[in-house]
Structure 1
């Protein structure tokens, strides 16, 4: 065997060894990441039988659309004209909290609807859009935050 062929064989062996080391390192890394994410290694623990998680609905079927103290119990939305149109259109895709945590002007609500239509596949709301926007702009408009109220009934003292 010539020197050139010996060199090629050795190079192939080194290359194969590097590939094997790389695979071992990669698998070790994957296992280490899994161990960090799931320290109990539950995927490898076959002693326990997995139990399904049962989530109970706390709202009775009769109370599904019940309103108490001006609040729709299931969603937390304010009871007002257009409530059920908002419930039927908005909570089909996301939770009511996504609406109630936001406060926007009428223009911003329209812009948000347009964004959802362009990027999130929201359907054309048709005549319901005005109902929805008016409801949201009335009940979830920005709160005017002025200066805080003056402190009252405070016993002041001097710092030394």
Structure 2
């Protein structure tokens, strides 16, 4: 009787082992396929031969550095000396809007650049550092306002209880 139970237990174990092995192989194949498609979806062998909408929607080369009303269309930077250097060095890592909103004096820009170099892997800007700082201080100087404007011309009313 023990031998029968032992044999049945052994068969059940082999069956369970095969099922686990099969499930592991399926999970591995699905995982590899997902990684394959996430790395570069255009590599898919199942993709239809349709034009890539990302390429179609990209700006025309002529519009890439277009200036309208003194503003660089793509970034929103003011067209002035140092704009190109600022675009090339600042917008590689973050949006131009982040640069524009941080209105600082030259000393604070130098401190911020040093911090980015020490902690964010910003490269040495070399001669471009002075050009960029001058561009930012000239075109986006610190605003001398408080946190918010004082409320004026407000029509106050009483809340009914």
Question: TM-score of the superposition, structure 2-length normalised?
Answer: 0.55
Preserved CA contact (<8 Å) 2:103 2:141: yes
Residue 139 of structure 1 and its aligned partner are, at CA, apart by 3.5
Instruction: Give 5+ residue unaligned stretches, structure 2.
Output: 35-43
Number of aligned residue pairs: give it: 143
Per the TM alignment, residue 112 of structure 1 is displaced from its structure 2 partner at its CA by 3.6
- Does structure 1 conserve the Cα–Cα contact (< 8 Å) formed by 2:65 and 2:72? no
Residue in 2 aligned with 1:136?
Answer: 136
**Could you tell me the TM-score, scaled by structure 1's length?**
0.56
- Answer yes or no: is the 8 Å Cα contact 2:82–2:131 preserved in 1: yes
Question: Does residue 13 of the first structure (1) align with residue 6 of the second (2)?
Answer: no
CA RMSD, aligned part only? 4.4
Tell me which residue corresponds to 1:82.
82
Q: Which structure shows the bigger proportion of residues in helix conformation?
A: 2
- Using the alignment, how far apart are the partners of 2:138 and 2:129 within structure 1? 14
Please list every run of 5 or more consecutive structure 1 residues that lacks an aligned counterpart in the other structure. Answer: 34-42
- Distance verdict in 2 for CA 1:83–1:51, change over 3 Å: closer
